[in-house]
Amino acid sequence: MTKNLKLLFIHHSTGGNLIKYGKVRDLVREKLQNIEFWDHGYNLYPIFPRLLAMFTFHTGLTDKNGQITGEDFDIVLSNNSPREYADIFSRDPTSFTLKQILNHDIIMFKNCFPTTKIESDEKLEEHKKYYTQVANSLKKYPDKLFIVFTSPPLRLEVTRPDWAKRARELANWMKSELIEGSKNLKVFDFFDLLADKIGENANMLRRDYCPWFSRDSHPNTKANREIAPKLAEFMKDISGNIR
């Protein structure tokens, strides 16, 4: 009998919307019956945590059935930045936060769209440096499978063509150079699924995936519903790497 594996998805609002509107948990249950899909949003508020979690993404840990557990792992991530992930995964595995994360068989994590506001080549290289530190740290846990998302793109109104071009370069680098020599790290190209490839809107959030508010780069409901099945299929395709 195949044992059940626990997956933890670390995210903030963009990932939360993918779960809520894309029904990722249900899709994974259908395609990969032996995987329990748990997720972790922002840490809980100290006062009325369960009540406030209903209206925010401060949900802490949510279980395989989509129920808020009332716990969190003290995962401090401002915008899920590569620098902060580099810090978390470089800690001693007995430290509270990393120990709780490593209690899962599959760890899936992502950065939010502020990561793709890359104003300079120096900032691009800084992101690459921190992602490289993450990849090197994960090699210490060959019995775990890690899935990192490329960061979602910004919409036209809040970015510039050169920033967006660097965001595409970062995503392409993650798919190729970042995972060289890593047997337990896979990349889900969230950026490419959300971004246009050509034209004035190249490397920016597709117009039909933009929400109504002109400054908001959260992918809309249509985007989440179309991409969630692709994520579930991606996980099914790499299931042979899950021990």
pLDDT score recorded for residue 79: 65
pLDDT score recorded for residue 233: 95
Q: How many domains does the chain have?
A: 1
pLDDT by position in tens, the chain (length 243): 467 899 999 999 999 999 999 999 999 999 998 999 999 999 998 888 888 887 788 999 999 999 999 999 999 987 668 999 999 999 999 999 999 999 999 999 999 898 999 999 999 999 999 999 999 999 999 999 999 999 999 999 999 999 999 999 999 999 999 999 899 999 999 999 999 999 999 999 999 999 999 899 999 999 999 999 999 999 998 876 665
Question: What CATH code is carried by the domain that includes residue 109?
Answer: 3.40.50.1110
DSSP string, the chain: -PPPEEEEEE--HHHHHHHHHH-HHHHHHHH-TTEEEEEE-SPPPSSSHHHHHTTSS---EE-TTS-B-S-------SS--HHHHHHHHTS-TTSHHHHHHTTSSEEEE---GGGG---SHHHHHHHHHHHHHHHHHHTT-TTSEEEEEPPPPPPGGG--HHHHHHHHHHHHHIIIIITTT-SSEEEE-HHHHHBB-SSTTBTSB-GGG--SSTT--S--HHHHHHHHHHHHHHHHHTGGG--
What sign does the dihedral 75-80-84-88 (CA atoms) show? positive
> How far apart are the C-alpha atoms of 21 and 54, rounded to whole Å?
15
- Candidates 49, 137, 42, 150; CA nearest to 98 is 137
**Domain span at residue 136?**
5-241
Asked if 101 contacts 88 with a C-beta cutoff of 8 angstroms, the reply is yes
pLDDT score recorded for residue 1: 40
